[in-house]
Amino acid sequence: MNEAQTLAYVKASATALGLALDEARAQRVAGHLQRTAAMAQMLEQFDLAPEVEIAEVYCPKQPPALAASA
């Protein structure tokens, strides 16, 4: 997205979420969003093999009462 599209997206999202943003704040949010998108794009271009890119999986431990009945 270009700057104008990003700003329009930020304003539309704020309206949909019921957030009041003045013009200056909307422009700052749009700038942060564009910077974040640029960083994500750089990360997407870096190729990692599946065995190198290990994703953590959260598996909560069951309380003893539940573990016994499972």
> What Rg, from alpha-carbon coordinates, does the chain have?
21
Across 16-39, average pLDDT: 96
Angle at 6 between CA 34 and CA 18, to 5 degrees: 115
The H helix count followed by the E strand count for the chain is 3, 0
User: Which residue's structure tokens are 């003893």?
Assistant: 64
Asked whether residue 26 carries a pLDDT value surpassing 80, the answer given is yes
**pLDDT of 64:** 74
Cβ neighbours around 26 below 10 Å, total: 18
Q: Is 46 left (phi over 0), alpha (psi -120 to 50) or beta?
A: beta
**pLDDT of 66:** 62
pTM: 0.66
